[in-house]
Amino acid sequence: MHLNIYIKNLKFKSNFGVKKMKLLFINDFRLMRNPIKIIKVRREQDNLLTKNFSPNTKKLIVFLTPGYDIANGGIISISSIYEETIKLKHIHEAEVIICTIPGDPLLLKYTKFNNQNCIYRFSQILPYFKNLQNLTIHIPEYSCDKFIKSCSKEEFSKINNLLNVHINIMLQNIDLLPDIHSIKKLESLGKLTSTTSHENYSTIELKNKLGHPLHKLSTVISPEQYSKKNYVEKKNLMIVSPDHHPAKSKVLNLIAREFPQLKIQIIENITYEEYKKTISYAKWSLTFGEGMDGYFEETSLSGGISFSVFNSRFFTPDFQELRTVYSDYDVLIKNICADMKKFDNEITYECYHKKQYALICKYCNYNKYIDNLVLFYKGQYTYP
């Protein structure tokens, strides 16, 4: 396959920017064209599978994850749900494994954030676990169609012949909702559910649109995971999401002119741990992405003040009350510099941060996240 066609055909949405993703895809393309590396990865995956899992396993939970070695919100979320699911074996009584999405490059391990997860390929699963009776597969929403097209007829036949099959669509981004054709195809395999990451689209309306049970999981983000620093500990730093937006250059040039001493850092080419250290010292954050995303939430949970444009697809209505969540980019351009000047002293900074922090904590709670995961494996869905 020609490299340009390979890049063009990829549908994986990344939060790491076009330049970063192009380099990533080039590396993955080289791996796909390097038979020696492919053989080594496959051999290691085969060895790990026989070492860590019994072929007599009867109940298995599979998480499908992107085959790209990056750290973005979607990948970290899938990894977290996978890790927490392992801890809940006393509830679901299954073995748990994580595999790359069929059709993605081979990958043994994510190296851009701390984890101990061994990653396998989905094509290993059905031939190895010959005594399977119960199979649950968690699929990222954007990859449903790819999963259907990449699995062989033999794999679909084996899945159909299992006693109990449960397919769960992980809706991490409502804008990437699978089409009705993909949903119907997945329904033909067995029981179908969807789990959500954001409060705003965890609704009965979405459940009715999908036509199958919907369950709110929430996200792994929670206050205790971050190093919260107060105003006097902060650096004169604004972190910016790497998302593309037509207004991005205009906004950043405006801020740079108004605050010549301010360091503006677009987050890219760093590990997740380096990112968390950076945001702990950042006074401000500005996201050009979903709005209610990690750049917005995590910076605030680290003691900073976050700026965004209100996106009704991800924000709940109560975030419109925040002064730094603007109705559109014209309003942001008009007000952001004045608001930064207003909040750039200890009293007003800490006062506003407290309000923003409290609202984010309302939706980011680790205990609720685990409780919701437990309810999922018990079959007690938010909207059955």
- Exposure string of 108-145, with b = 16+ CB inside 10 Å and e = fewer, is bebebbebebebbbbbbbbebbeebebbbbbbbbbbbe
Return the pLDDT at 295. 96
Count CB-CB contacts under 10 A for residue 102. Answer: 20
Cα 380 to Cα 384: distance, rounded to the nearest angstrom: 7
Domain with CATH 3.40.50.2000 in the chain: 223-363
Q: What kind of fold does domain 223-363 have according to CATH?
A: Rossmann fold (3.40.50)
Which residue is it, tokens 């790491």? 16
- The predicted pLDDT at position 200 comes to 86
What is 3-222+366-377's CATH topology? Answer: Rossmann fold (3.40.50)
pLDDT < 50: residue spans in the chain: 1-23, 26
200: its two tokens: 């705003």
Query: How high is the pLDDT of residue 20?
Result: 45
pLDDT given at position 31: 54
